Each structure stands twice: as C-alpha cells, then as structure tokens.
Chain A
C-alpha cells in the first residue's frame, strides 16, 4: 500500500530538548516536504526536498532542520524546541518536482512543547 508514515504521532516535550520526527514514503517519490498546521493559518511549508541531498527552505524554516540522505526518508529535526513550535506537523511526498495534485500526506504528528 502506497503511504507516507510519520513517527511519533503524538509527542509532548519540554523546551530545549532536541527531537526528531521521522517521515518515510514507499513510493520512490523524489519530492518530499514538511508542513505545519496552525489554527487560522492553514498549512505552511517548513522545508522541502527535490531529491537526495537536495533540500531548501519553505515559508517557515526557522527553528527546524531537515536531511535527505535516502530517497525514502525525510526527518524533521528540532534542535531546541520552543513553545511556539507546538503544532500539527505533516510530511508529504510526490513524484517529480512535486506534483501538487498527487501529494501524499502522512497522518500528522501532534507536537506539544511545554
């Protein structure tokens, strides 16, 4: 089954404690991205990756890092989380340069930073 998986699905942490949210897709997609969803703001792109070792900033990259060492994985790293990073996070993937009507989204990770 074609899917994007994220782990963990729920996470409560404290300010400053480094964390990683993993994302993996099984569709051999070139394009992967991370979004955050906040009330009243919709989805905003954090980082995206066009292929292995090719990543770039989205609209709200501050406080986040990513890596793309393998095609299937695109982890999101919060080196020093802060309360304003409390949000619902989605990973997505699609073929080529990112066909928007073919984006597969993961189920989301709800992060709370205390």
Chain B
C-alpha cells in the first residue's frame, strides 16, 4: 500500500493561472516533506520542502502547504509558466533524521502549462 499518494496523474493549467498539485500520506510518522520536479530525459531536482512544524513554506512562485491533521500537502505555483511543465513528485521522510535513505515518493503528477 502506497504511503504517499498523488491521486492526479496529470493536470493541465493555462499560463498565468494557479497550478495546485496535491499529495496525501498515510504514515503519521512522516515529519518532513519535499517536492521534486522532473523534466523528460532528466533526473528529478529538488524544488521545495516543508517541516511538520510549519504549515506553509514559500519560495518565489512556489508555495507548499501542509495540513497535518488531514495528512495532506499541496504545491501551489503562481503564476504558472510553460517552463513549469514537468512531472512533480511528492516525497516524505519520517522523524528528525533527514536522510534520503528514508525517502518515500509518490507516483508523480504530470503538469502541463498551456500557453
């Protein structure tokens, strides 16, 4: 059973509008969450993260929101640009030991930003 779920395999958004990518998790031990972005023929790259002590983290056009009680996080991209078209992976880590060896990934959401 997947502990990190991205239930939308794909999302299309018009350029300039907001993109909202969702992620749900089931393991209450998860304490740190990350979003990675992946372009075709490239490896994933880290985008933004959030610790469970926060409910929001912002970096430029990217904001991640965390709702611990609902075990839900979302990535907002405002405004969306065609260059944001990529696969976005949500990932989670348990506890305070922030090591990639304990990363659990979601299945990814393909975002397409239409010009």
Contact = CB atoms under 8 A, between A and B. Distances in A.
Interface in B87-107: 89, 91, 93, 97-101, 103, 105-107
Contact of A100 (B9, B34, B42): B34
Nearest to A35: B105
B43 A42 contact: no
Contacts of B106: 42
A21 interface: no
Contacts, number: 75
A27 to B, nearest CB: 14
A100 B103 contact: yes
A43 B105 contact: yes
A45 B44 CA distance: 14
Interface size class of B (residues with CB under 8 A): 20 to 34
B34 A107 contact: no
Contacts of B6: 42
Interface string A53-75: 00010100000000000000000
Nearest to A38: B107
B89 A101 contact: no
A93 B42 CA distance: 15
Contacts of B44: 43, 90, 103, 105
B42 A33 contact: no
Given A33-B100, A44-B105, A100 B93 contact: yes
Nearest to A102: B46
Contact of A107 (B4, B9, B43, B108): B43
Interface of B: 2, 4, 6, 9, 32, 34, 41-46, 49, 89, 91, 93, 97-101, 103, 105-108
